[in-house]
């Protein structure tokens, strides 16, 4: 894994990966790089890991420092080792074929898995996704549309966030702004997934949704211990799938259902 910078939520996420990899007996090599590291160094580390035959899966921890070209760095990934589903080829497969094929982004997968576990189908539901980032919001919206949901995507330019949130059957927030969605914006019967993680100055981890919303809605995923924890687990499931891809070197779209 290539980690550039000191994004606090990413640091917390990397710690969870270290713990789980140790429990699973998986060798995890994290290449920690400073915030001021040249982009060329990040690109080189990504390329070297992708070309190493002893490495089954590679991910670049996002977000990268703002001055870096995300897609230039990710272009060095071997798509068959791209366990976070971030490479443009894997994103293209997602747009073309949907959630059953290729290596898919793990946080959106975690959101879908939590909905399934709760017995809540996206089919025909009004779903508001808060956040349009490339890690969660954008790919999740595509996956939900392909599951026949009616999707509204909100972001920093959304005029009336409260209206978009209150009118949804399912709300999924991944904005990274603690307390962005208050209990007063929600209503009874809704299912709310909080995929936003912010580390406060005192070290506490907060989500986008006010915890008091749990007394209003039908279901609210906790932070920490909800989407983030499952995301880490699914990352290693993608690693197993990547290992199978490398073993066969078949196109990812031909390995539907292999994990």
pLDDT in tens, 67-84: 999 999 999 999 999 999
Strand residues in the chain grouped as ranges (E): 2-4, 31-33, 126-130, 150-154, 170-173, 191-194, 198-199, 205-206, 219-220
Tell me the average pLDDT of the chain.
90
The 10s digit of each residue's pLDDT in 14-64 is 888 999 999 999 999 999 999 899 999 999 999 999 999 999 999 999 888
User: Which has more confidence, 186 or 63?
Assistant: 186
The 10s digit of each residue's pLDDT in 162-179 is 999 999 999 999 999 999
CB-CB neighbours of 71 under 10 Å: 11
CB-CB neighbours of 205 under 10 Å: 16
DSSP code, position 247: H
The tokens describing 150, both together, are 């009616």
Residue 256, pLDDT above cutoff 60: no
Domains delineated in the chain: 2-98+230-252 (3.40.50.10860), 106-227 (3.40.50.720)
Report pLDDT for 10.
79
Report pLDDT for 21.
92
Backbone angles phi, psi at 176, to 5 degrees: 70, 35
Residue 7, pLDDT above cutoff 80: no
pTM equals 0.88
Q: Could you please report the per-residue DSSP string of 11-26?
A: HHHHHHHHHHHHHHT-
Q: Are 221 and 192 in contact (CB under 8 A)?
A: yes
Which bin fits 114, alpha (ψ -120 to 50), beta or left (φ > 0)?
Answer: alpha
Report pLDDT for 214.
96
Q: Are 51 and 64 in contact (CB under 8 A)?
A: no
| pLDDT interval class at 254 (50, 70, 90) | very low
Report pLDDT for 41.
96
Contacts of 105 (CB under 8 A, 6+ apart): 84, 85, 86, 94, 135, 136, 139, 140
| pLDDT interval class at 96 (50, 70, 90) | confident
Backbone angles phi, psi at 33, to 5 degrees: -125, 145
Residue 108, pLDDT above cutoff 50: yes
Residue 100, pLDDT above cutoff 60: no
The tokens describing 245, both together, are 């891809």
DSSP code, position 56: -
Report pLDDT for 249.
64
């Amino acid at each position: 894994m290539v980690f550039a910078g000191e994004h606090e939520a990413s640091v917390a996420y990397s710690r969870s990966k270290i713990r789980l990899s140790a429990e699973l007996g998986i060798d995890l090599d994290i290449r920690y790089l400073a915030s001021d590291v040249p982009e060329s160094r990040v690109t080189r580390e990504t390329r070297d890991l992708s070309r190493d035959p002893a490495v089954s899966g590679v991910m670049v921890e996002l977000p990268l420092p703002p001055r870096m070209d995300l897609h230039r760095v990710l272009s060095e990934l071997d798509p068959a080792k791209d366990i976070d589903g971030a490479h443009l080829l894997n994103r293209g497969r997602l747009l073309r074929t949907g959630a059953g094929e290729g290596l898919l982004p793990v946080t959106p997968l975690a959101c879908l898995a939590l909905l399934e576990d709760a017995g809540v189908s996206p089919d025909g539901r009004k779903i508001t996704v808060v956040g349009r980032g490339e890690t969660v919001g954008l790919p999740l919206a595509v996956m939900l549309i392909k599951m026949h949901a009616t999707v509204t995507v909100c972001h920093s330019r959304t005029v009336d966030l409260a209206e978009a949130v209150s009118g949804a059957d399912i709300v999924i927030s991944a904005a990274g702004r603690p307390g962005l969605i208050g209990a007063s914006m929600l209503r009874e019967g809704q299912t709310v997934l909080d995929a936003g993680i912010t580390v406060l100055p005192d070290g506490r981890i907060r989500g986008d949704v006010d915890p008091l919303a749990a007394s209003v809605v039908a279901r609210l995923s906790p932070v920490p211990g909800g989407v983030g924890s499952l995301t880490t687990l699914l990352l290693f499931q993608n690693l197993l799938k990547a290992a199978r891809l490398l073993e066969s070197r078949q196109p990812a779209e031909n390995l539907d259902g292999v994990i």
